[in-house]
Structure 1
Amino acid sequence: MDQQAGADDPPDEGRSDPTPTGPGFAAFDAREALFTSALEQVDRVVNTAEAMRLQVMLAGFDAMLIEEQAETGRALRPDDAAVRAFYLHQANVLRVSRQTIERRIDDGRTAREKLPTTWAVFLDGLASEEAIRAAARQTVGLKVAALPEFDAKAADLVQTVKATVVEKRLGLLRDRLDPDGAIERHEQAATRRWVSARPDSDGMAVLEVHSTAIDIAAMYDGIRQAAIDLHGRDGEHRTLGQLMADVATDVVLHGLEVPAAEMGDPAYPMERIGSLKAPHRKAVQATVLVVVPADTATGSGNAPAELAGTGAIDAETARQVIGHTRTWTRVAVDPIDDSILGIDSHERYIPAGLKKLLHLRSPSCTGDDCGLPAHRADIDHVIRVEHDGRTRHDNLQVLCRKSHQMKDEGYFDVQTFPDGTIRWHDKWGGNRLVRPALTVKTRTPVELPDDPPFRAGEPLGSDRSLRRRVG
């Protein structure tokens, strides 16, 4: 008699049983279901918290608009100092950039006013803030009559797909609902071209170019083709990515060194700028401010240097910068508390030396956290000159133009401290302390020696240069 097949017997040859049914798999499936359910619940809690935060941000913004309009008797424009100051207030509270707050509020107001169904989904915790903001951005230029259909589709998408997919699908829907407006929207978007830089880790940074898709595609293709051509040469060991970065860098920096071309020159086939020729025009020279310790400059140490508006750079890069620089300024710094003891006095006029001291103390804008390098920013009197403010380091600060305007119009009260710390107090009760990169010690000034710590053409790290180093 044949034995009856048991549960643990292997299946017959040719038998198909793809679905496991053992008790172990059943337990595993239960754990998976529990995990997935818990993750979904936590995600909904996070979405609800994001919705509450955005509602509070919008309520505060609405209250500010009402208050300022009552005081000034006019409606505020998006570029008014009061609006930027309130953005900065919220940025300080939430510890993010002003630009981030501005985008959140703009997108939130759009979603609340134009997409009520999608907004209700957001308030119920069924969609993330990222997805809601992606939907809001795609309403730009959309006619009022098309908003209900757009809103219904958006309400479904924000619950079911990723934010990147929401943006793509709703963009296609917008163009289908309003095909004639697509051309106008592109023309308006093209006016918002920009370039920005942001620091990265390990002495690196990122340069971003936001322009038309056709221009970016052409730029990328040109850079890639040049890199591929270099990649095939004998002795070339750089990767394609490294070559593309180097090609782009050389094109920008060396392109700025040559005189501008005439309109219609083959170098400018689209003639979008017009004639760049001007009498006595000099080639553009890029300027950077780098603070380098003396030991690093002479090669006896490897402490990192600081690139204004970007962050730290390694010692070897700093020495390469020194080797190619045209001008530099010596500063004596206390090795204990990093306070400035003295600054090179070889400048003919004191204000130039004072400006360099301010740039060392604050390498970038101290107001808006925008990262604008100090040599491109304004020098602001904390106590204004007409109120008997002195032109001294303890009454001066480095500000971008927008921060300067917000402070001068009374939305911020600024106080300086002897060590160079600056306290910003806004009219809505927020406080922010800005610490100096280097403090200034005025009670014990010192005279710097006549000889520099190293001479041009002298090998860095030589005994002769080491004997001349400061400190």
Structure 2
Amino acid sequence: MTTRSADTRTRADSGARRRDAGRDVTLARLDELLADLSAAQAEINALEGRRAALLADIADLAEDAESAVLDTDDPSRRRTSSSRRRELVRRAVVAEVGTTLRLGEHAAGSLCEQAQTLRRKAPRSFAALAAGRCSWAHAARLARHLADLDPADARRVESSVAPALATSTPAQVDARTRRARDSVHPEPVEVRSAKASEHRAVYLDDARDGMAWLTARLPVTLAHAAYDRLTRTATALHTETDSLIVSQGRADVLAALLLDDGTLDRDAVPASAPGRDSGRDPGRDPGTAPDTAPGTARTRPVPGIATIARSIRPQVTVTVPVLTLLGVADIPADLDGHVPVAPDTARELAALAPSLWRVLTHPESGVPLSVGRESYTAPSALKATLRHRDATCRFPGCTVPAVRADLDHTTAWADGGTTGADNLAHLCRHHHVLKHQTGWTARQGPASGGNLEWTSPTGRRHTTRPDGGVVASRHGSAPRDSAPRDSAPRDLSSVGSGDPPF
């Protein structure tokens, strides 16, 4: 009996060693492939850097190519203004680039402008691209925000964003550059918002397979409120939390809100409403929910999607500096932790808010107080402060807003973790599950300032830093004589049939 037990343990130990050995071999192979992938991407980045240098050369050449490009025999040329001639030259050169690269002229023109902007206003990032340390996708996001800044201000923005080019996703670079640009732009945010608002619009672009893109460009507060209502209604309509189901629900709600003006058949059971019975008895009233059991008389009408959506109040989170709220200063507020909001708009929203949270932090460090092991659930003020601190999910590369993420104990409560700013961070549901059910781990310490150090199953380390915070402006007040100016209409000629027009 003893011999059999020893043999069983020996076989079990041997099986465990084989499984561990197999796991080590798999991770070693994965590590090797990831290293090769990183090297290949660096080569691609360097080629994109070479392409950018050529595009910048072409853009520079176009500025002095009038005599070579324009038709010298055209009698109307003498009557054409200098700005018009420059535009004609630019169009001709961009057409050359587009036909060479097999791109639409709008896309080709954007490439030339972004490459020229990078070389002139962000030389450090331009060099990083040429060396393969960042991709064109990252550099182009930076260039887009620098185009209307003078070189000195552009360098200030680049200096604060350049370190993130090699460690962040393009979307994160875009968000960081947008905030940095707001802090140095010579015009106050409310003036720029007024100008941009004049170009609010809705675009319709046909896609493949009987689909289309309906895109709206709206003031940021309206867009966030609308999206919040779509999300809340879609979540109320479905018990599933799958992101695809919720995305489909948002589309259903949007269509219902736009098309149901109150005159449609609102007693009909909507296609995606709770309680929908695809095999319902055609003799039963379509405005009643199906019976839950034989003999149960339940005739409660199922409301339409638009009706449900109109009953849900959208919510947005606006963090307003107290001096701005009091009208003493015009420091911009921020929306959902990362989108700048003009001071006047922030004060208007605060005046309409049903309630306000006052968040008090340490007077020197700015860190909110911890409740230690006294409570698993963070108090409301601490939650609000951490939403503001994190802004988004804290997994590397994730941009899900903190307002739609879980507040996770980095060191689990069951393992002695405390409920404080140095042990709490926002994770979207997807990455929350990833942290607890895979080999991905995270840690932060009392002196980390909210930084999270992630370790992947292959041992790679990635650090994410809190990216929230109100961006201070150089302006104390808006100039009173500023007036909105016109800008060129949006060109959608290069939008592909299957891609969103963003």
TM-score range (shorter-chain normalised) is 0.3 to 0.5
User: If the length of structure 2 is used for normalisation, what is the TM-score?
Assistant: 0.40
Asked which structure has the greater RCO (Cα within 8 Å, sep 6+), the reply is: 2
